[in-house]
């Protein structure tokens, strides 16, 4: 599940895997995700450089400011 929220000039994207299986975040969504933009997560994030795609672990959630 993925959705965004906007308030004035600030926008965040919420990415959640509600499954027991890994879920791939595809580059097709047109966003780049950077650890500097990561606001909230429930697993350690290993990507050090900005990425366009990655895999969410089971029940993993991330919130990025974009």
pLDDT in tens, the chain (66 residues): 999 999 999 999 999 999 999 999 988 778 999 999 999 999 999 888 999 999 999 999 999 999
pTM for the whole thing?
Answer: 0.89
Gap between the Cα atoms of 62 and 38, Å rounded: 7
CA–CA separation, 2 and 62 (whole Å): 10
Predicted local confidence at residue 29, as pLDDT: 79
Q: Say how many Å lie between the first and final Cα of the chain, rounded.
A: 17
- pLDDT at 46 (0 to 100): 85
- Distance (Å, whole) CA 36 – CA 63: 11
pLDDT confidence of residue 30: 83
User: CATH fold of 2-65, please?
Assistant: Immunoglobulin-like (2.60.40)
């Amino acid at each position: 599940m993925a959705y965004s929220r906007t308030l004035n000039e600030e926008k965040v994207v919420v990415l959640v895997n509600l499954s027991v299986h890994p879920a791939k975040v595809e580059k097709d969504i047109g966003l780049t995700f950077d650890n500097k933009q990561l606001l909230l997560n429930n697993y350690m994030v290993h990507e050090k450089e900005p990425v366009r795609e990655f895999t969410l672990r089971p029940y993993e959630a991330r919130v990025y400011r974009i």
